[in-house]
Amino acid sequence: MINKHSPVPIYYQIEQSIKNLIDKGDLKPGDMIPSEREYAENYQISRMTVRQAINNLVNDGYLIRQKGKGTFVASQKIEQKLLGLTSFTEDMKARGHVPSTLLLDFKKIDATNELAVNLNVQMGDALYEIKRIRLADGFPMALETNYMPVQLVHHLTEEVAKGSIYQFVEQRLGLEIDYATQELESSVARETESELLNIAKGAPVLHIKRRTFLKNGCPLEFVHSIYRGDRYKFVIDMHRS
């Protein structure tokens, strides 16, 4: 299946052939792929060429290298449409995954200037600061820090924060969540983030900032989320009008 006389570079042919096996399901998440040496011997090509193909697939999130163990097929990335205002719990359920949350920190703080501006409160007003690891089927997907005005979201408890905050706000407090503005930026995992998300320090992540508003115009939350770049992709449909 490798054509050495083709103008298509050999590393690219190997890359495509591994990708095809993954896309067809012949190679499944968790399967170990042959070593660089085995590929090189089988195809009579240099290990450098194989390494280039594998590096590209690792960078694209198709494969994962595990030190001292080998190279494995990664889990499929979870696709999230950038359409509609949804919660983490809803996103995961809609894709057939079981959402869960590890609550890292839950406390009240005084609003700093930046938080006060984003939440339209006075500096020093009480805010909830909630740090959570969001998991899908038990695997960490994102690290989220929510800030919400205490006066707006009364009776928020640690128990609630372990589940869906949106569900609590809508169903228990009867508040209407209306819209959000969101910024996405690529970034790399810092030390603590890498430990909490179980990825290498410096691994690619998506930093998302969301401000969510209620129907009456009040900002409900200001959230920093760090999503694993290897587990998540965001998709948007665009219409030319």
Where along the sequence are the contacts to ligand GLP (CB under 6 A)? 87-89, 144, 146, 164-167, 208, 210, 221, 223, 225
Residue (of 15, 4, 81) closest to 44 by Cα position: 4
Closer CB to ligand GLP, 88 or 106, in the complex: 88
Residues 205, 188: Cα–Cα separation, whole Å: 5
The 3-state DSSP class for residue 210 equals strand
Closest distance to ligand GLP from the beta carbon of 108 (Å): 17
Whats the size of the chain, residue-wise?
Answer: 241
Closer CB to ligand GLP, 32 or 98, in the complex: 98
Closest distance to ligand GLP from the beta carbon of 93 (Å): 9
Q: Hey, what's the torsion of the CAs at 113, 119, 125, 130, to 10 degrees?
A: -100
Residue 181: strand pairing partners = 211
- Measured at the CA of 167, the angle between CA 81 and CA 158, to 5 degrees, comes to 115
Closest distance to ligand GLP from the beta carbon of 38 (Å): 41
Closer CB to ligand GLP, 50 or 161, in the complex: 161
Closest distance to ligand GLP from the beta carbon of 233 (Å): 15
Closer CB to ligand GLP, 23 or 137, in the complex: 137
Closest distance to ligand GLP from the beta carbon of 150 (Å): 16
Q: How many whole angstroms from its chain centre is CA 118?
A: 23
Closer CB to ligand GLP, 16 or 89, in the complex: 89
Give me the phi and psi of 139, to 5 degrees please: -105, 135
